[in-house]
């Protein structure tokens, strides 16, 4: 990141209003302002006139992919600690201040990012910015709080273990990926969380949490340029050099079927099937997004109709494709009353072959695009949803991704969907994880 005068020159160039595209292609509000501050902090402001709320959302370019095997879960642990006290604020004080303003705070960790957001009435923007800036720069990681949050995180991991649909997806990523860090669970492993020290948490925080690795998004009922000035005032003193991200090794293609089976005291069989898909940097992912909605979103989706309602080989079915910086997984999660997944798996592969032969109907294609666009627009209608969309784009892709995503989804054609089905959904090369009921003796 450039420093000094060059940084200010970049800031001036980027401080040009960008109008977000409307469905008909015309320009409309909100107005998006983008600036890189002298300390390297990226700032994005989106004004939503008439909104009573404002969200301040800080996105850090660090996630579970940036951990070592020995510290798997440290990014998530740091996320739990950031609002737990600073050099100026005692434990619980940030939460109390936000609640007194009529707002709330939350945070989340992913493979490629960690983000922290504060939602308050629009008039309280300055207070929200000051609190978030204090937490990002001055978190103390008090020893007693580390132990309290260790217990909380272990409870979270236990809940995942005891929720079959979540557990098989967690295991699927660990089965499908062999060298890429997406193979490691975002929440961490029980063994690491039990042993990780406060010093390790502090080292990770100091290594990755700095302005050059952060995007602060402000979205809601605020004046854009006034909000930009408030961000400058809140964050101007943050100075910390961060370590650049190390590129992850490329995951080799799946060869054949990679299977993992676990038997437990559960009532039904839950299984997940996954294929390596495209990254956010590959234009194929727009067609894959549409395909996922056509096959698994809602009661009218093809595989829900065929596998659950007509053939009755599964009781529940859902499809996922998390957008990520590097190639992610296209996966199906289902439950079946059968003792194992074999009959449902065969039926699923028959559907995959039919898809590769005939693609989607025009009706299925249009339904999927309509659903996808409606969900995106609904999420971005709130200040919180808009801030999350902008922060994710700036951190995992680029800001243009936010502006052009729906345009590219609308442009997806049937032949593109057929091509990605052939490219990624191979009925002879996939990973499968199943959690089966223990048989009675």
pLDDT in tens, 255-298: 999 999 999 999 999 999 999 999 999 999 999 999 999 999 99
Among 235, 268, 301, the domain boundary falls at: 235
Work out how many domains the chain is built from and give that number: 2
Same domain membership, residue 274 and residue 153: no
Q: Could you report the average pLDDT of every consecutive run of 10 residues in the chain (441 residues)?
A: 26 29 42 94 96 98 97 98 96 96 98 98 98 98 98 98 97 98 97 98 98 98 97 97 94 97 97 98 98 96 98 98 97 97 98 98 98 96 97 97 96 98 98 93 63
User: What local confidence, expressed as pLDDT, does residue 171 receive?
Assistant: 98
What's the pLDDT score for residue 184?
Answer: 97
If asked whether residues 39 and 135 sit together in one domain, one would say yes
pLDDT at 441: 63
Q: By C-alpha distance, which of 215, 36, 228, 51 is closest to 126?
A: 228
Residue 252 lies in a domain: no
Q: Is position 248 within any domain?
A: no
The count of C-alpha atoms lying within 13 angstroms of the C-alpha of 68, restricted to the half-sphere facing its C-beta, is 7
pLDDT of residue 439: 83
Task: Tell me, yes or no, whether 224 and 265 share the same domain.
Answer: no
CA dist 84 to 57, 71, 113, 192, 216, Å? 17, 21, 20, 21, 20
Cα distance between residue 431 and residue 17, in whole Å: 46
Same domain for 230 and 360:
no
**Which CATH number belongs to the domain containing residue 269 in this structure?**
3.30.830.10
* In a domain? residue 246: no
- Catalytic residue, chosen from 35, 67, 71, 79, is 79
Whether residue 332 is found in the same domain as residue 375 = yes
Structural domain of 412: 257-437
My answer on whether 150 and 79 are in the same domain is yes
Determine the pLDDT at residue 17: 30
Taking the C-alpha atoms of residue 304 and residue 318, their distance in angstroms, rounded to an integer, is 8
Q: Residue 247 domain-assigned?
A: no
Helix (H) or strand (E) holding 369: helix 362-379
SS3 for 144?
helix
Please state the pTM of the whole predicted model.
Answer: 0.92
- Based on the fold, state whether residues 213 and 326 are members of the same structural domain: no
The fraction of the chain above a pLDDT of 70, given in percent, is 93
Cα-based angle 41, 13, 37 (whole degrees, multiple of 5):
15
- Looking at the domain assignment, is residue 314 inside a domain? yes
Does residue 88 fall inside a structural domain?
yes
Q: How far apart are CA 169 and CA 163, in angstroms?
A: 10
Q: Supply the pLDDT for residue 23.
A: 33
343 within domain boundaries = yes
Whether residue 79 lies in the annotated active site: yes
How many other CB atoms are there within 10 angstroms of residue 27's CB atom?
Answer: 11
Domain check: are 95 and 190 in the same one? yes
- The answer on 161 and 72 residing in a single domain is yes
* Same domain (yes/no): 43, 189: yes
Using the 3D structure, point to which of 204, 235, 266 is the last residue of a domain.
Answer: 235
Say if 129 falls within a structural domain: yes
| CA-based nearest residue to 132, from 113, 153, 106, 100 | 106
Q: Are residues 47 and 187 in the same domain?
A: yes
Residues 61 and 182 in one domain: yes
Q: What is the pLDDT of residue 343?
A: 98
Residue-wise pLDDT tens digits, 128-138? 999 999 999 99
Residue where a domain stops, chosen among 179, 203, 235: 235
Structure tokens at 109: 């960790």
């Amino acid at each position: 990141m450039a420093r000094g005068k060059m940084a200010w020159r970049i800031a001036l160039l980027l401080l040009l209003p960008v109008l977000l595209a409307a469905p008909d292609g015309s320009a409309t509000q909100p107005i998006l302002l983008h600036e890189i501050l002298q300390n390297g902090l990226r700032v994005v402001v989106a004004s939503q006139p008439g909104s009573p709320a404002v969200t301040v959302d800080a996105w850090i370019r660090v996630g579970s992919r940036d951990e070592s095997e020995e510290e798997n879960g440290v990014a998530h642990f740091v996320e739990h600690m950031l609002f737990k006290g600073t050099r100026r604020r005692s434990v619980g004080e940030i939460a109390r201040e936000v609640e007194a303003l009529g707002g709330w705070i939350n945070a989340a960790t992913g493979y490629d990012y960690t983000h922290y957001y504060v939602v308050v009435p629009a008039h309280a923007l300055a207070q929200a910015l000051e609190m978030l800036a204090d937490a990002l720069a001055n978190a103390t990681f008090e020893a007693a709080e580390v132990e309290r949050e260790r217990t909380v995180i272990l409870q979270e991991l236990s809940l995942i273990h005891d929720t079959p649909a979540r557990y098989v997806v967690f295991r699927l990523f660990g089965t499908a990926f062999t060298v890429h860090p997406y193979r490691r669970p975002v929440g961490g492993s029980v063994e690491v969380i039990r042993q990780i020290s406060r010093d390790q948490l502090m080292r990770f925080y100091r290594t990755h949490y700095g302005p050059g690795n952060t995007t602060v998004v402000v979205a809601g009922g605020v004046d854009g340029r006034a909000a930009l000035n408030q961000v400058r005032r809140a964050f101007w003193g943050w100075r910390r050099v961060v370590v650049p991200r190390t590129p992850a090794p490329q995951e080799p293609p799946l060869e054949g079927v990679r299977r993992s089976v676990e038997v437990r005291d559960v009532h039904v069989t839950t299984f997940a099937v996954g294929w390596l898909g495209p990254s956010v940097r590959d234009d194929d992912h727009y067609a894959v997004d549409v395909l996922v909605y056509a096959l698994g979103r809602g009661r009218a989706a093809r595989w829900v109709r065929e596998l659950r309602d007509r053939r009755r080989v599964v009781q529940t079915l859902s499809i996922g494709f998390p957008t990520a910086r590097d190639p992610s997984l296209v996966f199906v999660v289902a439950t079946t009353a059968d003792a194992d997944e074999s009959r449902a798996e065969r039926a699923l592969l028959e559907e995959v072959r039919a898809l590769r032969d005939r693609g989607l109907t025009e009706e299925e294609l249009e339904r999927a695009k309509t659903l996808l666009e409606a969900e995106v627009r609904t999420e971005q209608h709130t200040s919180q949803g808009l801030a999350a969309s902008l922060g994710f784009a700036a951190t995992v892709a680029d800001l243009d991704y936010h502006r052009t995503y729906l345009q590219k989804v609308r442009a997806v054609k049937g032949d593109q969907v057929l091509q990605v089905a052939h490219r990624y959904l191979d009925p002879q090369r996939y990973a499968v994880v199943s959690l089966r009921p223990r048989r009675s003796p």
